[in-house]
Structures are given as structure tokens and as C-alpha cells.
Amino acid sequence: MKDKVYDNADSFAMSFDEEWANIDCEDLRLKIDKVLELLCDHPFYVSNPENARKMAEFRIFSLKKF
């Protein structure tokens, strides 16, 4: 998915999930920070960093996706 990214939440969520799977870290907040650091050039993060973080936290803490 890295070759096609878009400035929308769905694209960011797919990229987030891919990166999340590659990070080995027990502290969930620290892991979110590490993933967001890797995705700092994603168009959705660039245009909406606050919403990108909220979406990441929602996926981890509310949906308990992982």
C-alpha cells in the first residue's frame, strides 16, 4: 500500500495497520508514537496530524483492533 497513499482516513488506517504490525513494543502509547513517526510524510498525517493521532488511538484503545 505504500506506493499508493491518499489524503484520507482510510488510506492512513491501512498504512497505520501495516506499520503497527512491524513495530515490537509493549507500551501502546509509545508504539503509536513510533508508528506516527514512520508515517509523518503520509498525506493524511501531513494535513491532519491531530486527527491522525486520534484515529490511531481510537483504533488501538476503542476498537482494540490489535
Residue 1 has pLDDT above 70, yes or no: no
Residue 6's alpha-carbon distances to 1, 3, 22, 63, in angstroms, are 10, 10, 21, 23
Residue 48 is given by DSSP the state -
Residue 65 has pLDDT above 90, yes or no: no
More confident residue, 63 or 16: 16
Residue 33's alpha-carbon distances to 3, 4, 26, in angstroms, are 22, 23, 12
| C-alpha cell of residue 37 | 513517526
- Residue 56: which pLDDT band, with cuts at 50, 70 and 90? very high
Whether the CB-CB separation of 54 and 32 falls below 8 Å is answered with no
Q: Give the pTM.
A: 0.89
pLDDT at 2 (0 to 100)? 58
